[in-house]
Amino acid sequence: MKRIDEYQGKKVLVMGFGISGINAAHLLVKLGAKVTANDKAIPKTNEIVNDLEADGIKVITGDNPISLANEGFDVVVKNPGIPYDNPLVAAFVKQGIPIITEAELGWQIFDGHLVSVTGSNGKTTTTTLTQLMIAENAKHQVKYAGNIGISFSKIAEDLGPDDTLVTELSSFQLLGAPTIHPHIAIITNIFSNHLDYHKTRENYINAKLNITRNQTKDDFLVINWDRDEWQRIAQRSQATIVPFSRLNKSHEGSYVEDGMIYWRGQEVMPTKDIRLIGPQNVENALAAIAAAKLSGVTNEAIKKVLTTFSGVRHRLQYVMEYQGRLFYNDSKSTDIEATEVALQGFDRPVILLAGGLDRGYTFERLVPYLKKHVKAMIVFGECKDKMKDAGNQAGVSVIESENAITAVPEAWKLSEPEDVILLSPANASWDQFPSFEVRGDKFIEAVEELTGKKEQ
């Protein structure tokens, strides 16, 4: 941990009691700040509140009182999910008070080697693969943190100058990380996500590009080269560009040619040996390989990771096989693009479980993938009628169910040996579940109840 004094004696407001906010509040106390923590949803009796107060932190819960804007705060550390049009946040913006996220605080105290990953899809898998690959050859600590569910600042506290930290960073986090400077940055892809938060695609792209804002030619931006738009986006960085390409559009970084993965002309391994299924995981592997090779990792270490790693929970996660059926949990597929790539990973007939929060769009784009890969659909949630329309257009048998849990026995009734039963909703979970993680966990529980087996 790097010792800094810029918070000594400063008044800091931490907004949000998530994992990152709690750790940020305690860290700021160690750095000498006078900390107030605010969350509109946590009751005063909560154990978290007691822990904060025991550390000398003033706690305000049940509201985001606008009066806090008049208390002379020097800095605000905001939970990434709180939008900038929140009245209290907007008041701080109007006053010109710096608003950062916990990722910025983590960067400020970190003095090791930083690798950062962002993108619309594939962030967590790429982060995990990169950390595992670098750790295979490392003589010092190699950890991961960030949007992957582990506090950046908490891990950064325990690392030294020779250690490596691989961070997953969302667009929300990057908006509040003005000085972050990874030596290696990865952009897996950019689609049109979170426009309810960012308002426009250009705003979303700009937020993602904050990952490379402070990079120089001595740093590296690893970026997907398979779309012209992403190639153009890369030109907005001052870093040395390292492309990765599943579609063989560049040989300057990592790429696939005739079923073989290469790094700058050198064979690494066949794509068929990657344990993770699907074209999206080939892309995730290519991104991780580029970062690993730039970090001095051997091909042997890379192959060891890619032939043994079976996936991140809720991200095209293999659950089990039962009576010839394969069950997969892809609850993290909260947009159409993610479900498209998930379906492409299977050459067996798929029974697709899909649906969720209605964000106003329709699903015609899925029709070609449904025609090619899906034998039946179980649809649920707010957008089930729109999902059903897409299934009907594709000529796929469609039935309705209440949710992702009740859909499991319905899918079983429709299945035969050699089928895949896949939860890949193409929609957010918030109409029925508090998160995609809960949705995926409940799906797995339903599979376990159906089969009498535990997930593998």
**Neighbour tally for 17: CB within 10 Å:** 22
User: Looking up tokens 């080269």, which residue turns up?
Assistant: 225
Instruction: Provide the edge-to-edge strand list for the sheet that holds 325-329.
Output: 317-322, 325-329, 420-423, 350-355, 374-380, 397-400
Distance (Å, rounded) from C-alpha 118 to C-alpha 188?
Answer: 6
User: Looking up tokens 């899906």, which residue turns up?
Assistant: 374
User: Phi/psi at 438 (nearest 5 deg)?
Assistant: -65, -40
The Cα-based distances of 298 to 267, 302, 307, 395 in angstroms read 12, 6, 14, 48
119 annotated among ligand-binding-site residues:
yes
216 annotated among ligand-binding-site residues:
no
Distance (Å, rounded) from C-alpha 349 to C-alpha 410?
Answer: 16
DSSP-assigned beta bridge partners for residue 377: 352, 398
- Coil vs helix vs strand at 353: strand
Closest Cα partner for 171 from 263, 253, 83, 296?
Answer: 83
The Cα-based distances of 37 to 48, 89, 154, 237 in angstroms read 11, 14, 17, 36
Q: Are 193 and 337 in contact (CB under 8 A)?
A: no
Helix 47-54 / helix 19-30 crossing angle, nearest 10 deg = 10
Helix 299-308 / helix 279-294 crossing angle, nearest 10 deg = 150
Distance (Å, rounded) from C-alpha 392 to C-alpha 363?
Answer: 11
State in Å, rounded, how far the first CA of the chain is from the last one: 38
The two tokens of residue 442 are 């409940």
DSSP-assigned beta bridge partners for residue 380: 355
120 annotated among ligand-binding-site residues:
yes
Distance (Å, rounded) from C-alpha 225 to C-alpha 245?
Answer: 5
Q: Are 392 and 412 in contact (CB under 8 A)?
A: no
User: Looking up tokens 């960067």, which residue turns up?
Assistant: 107
For 13-32, give the DSSP string. Answer: EEE--SHHHHHHHHHHHHTT
124 annotated among ligand-binding-site residues:
yes
Binding-site residues from annotation: 119-125
Binding-site residues from annotation for ATP: 119-125
